[in-house]
A = this chain, B = another copy of it.
Amino acid sequence: MLNQTEALDRTFHALSDPTRRGMVKRLSRGPASVGELAKPLDMSLPAVLQHLEVLVACGLVRTEKIGRVRTCRIAPAAMKTAEQWITERRATWERRLDRLGEYLAEQHEGGKR
């Protein structure tokens, strides 16, 4: 099992590359073979494989080989971890800004009287 910090490291790192985001985008619409993933990309097949490995290593993608074809599909759980981290941060600062807003409003109220 991957610890939380390392999981986030890997997931955000995986998403920081446009090629990998493209692959995730493609797979969001449905499963695809390695070849199908590679077709729109302007790079060698081994390069595509390496990107795929990164996506698999962080759990964003699962793959399964049947015959000579490897089929790739999205595994939503890893994405949820990343999403959740962002959501938590937002919750924290929004709460804080709300409090600040209330405070300023009160100040203003006070000034009007």
Chain A residues proximal to chain B, CB less than 8 Å: 5, 8-13, 15-18, 21, 24-25, 28-30, 74, 76, 79, 82-83, 85-87, 89-90, 92-93, 96
Contacts and interface: CB of A to CB of B under 8 A. Distances in A.
A89 B28 contact: yes
A76 B93 CA distance: 9
Residue from A11, A17, A28 whose CB has the most chain B CB atoms within 10 Å = A28
A29 B79 contact: no
A21 B85 contact: yes
A78 to B, nearest CB: 11
Residue among A29, A83, A86 with the highest chain B CB neighbour number at 10 A: A86
Nearest to A92: B28
Contact of A83 (B13, B28, B90, B93): B90
